[in-house]
């Protein structure tokens, strides 16, 4: 069994890390990754927006 990553504050994630999470969510959409499959598009868009904002800042 894979080890879970320790919890981190949301503010500690870099723009690249947030974008990678969004990409994994899209890739694993049908598996219920993080959120129910029907919520994946909204979740992914929110993550991508957050990543863009952090990259600018």
pLDDT tens for 2-45 read 666 677 777 788 888 888 888 887 787 777 666 777 777 888 88
pLDDT at 8 (0 to 100):
75
pLDDT at 4 (0 to 100):
67
SS3 (DSSP) at 29? helix
Range 50-56 contact pairs with CB under 8 angstroms and sequence separation of 24 or more: 50/15, 50/18, 51/15, 51/16, 51/18, 51/19, 51/22, 52/15, 53/15, 54/13, 54/14, 54/15, 54/18, 55/15
């Amino acid at each position: 069994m894979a080890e879970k990553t320790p919890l981190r504050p949301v503010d500690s994630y870099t723009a690249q890390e947030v974008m990678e999470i969004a990409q994994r969510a899209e890739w694993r959409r049908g598996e219920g990754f993080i959120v129910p499959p029907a919520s994946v598009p909204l979740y992914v868009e929110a993550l991508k927006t957050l990543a863009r904002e952090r990259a600018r800042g």
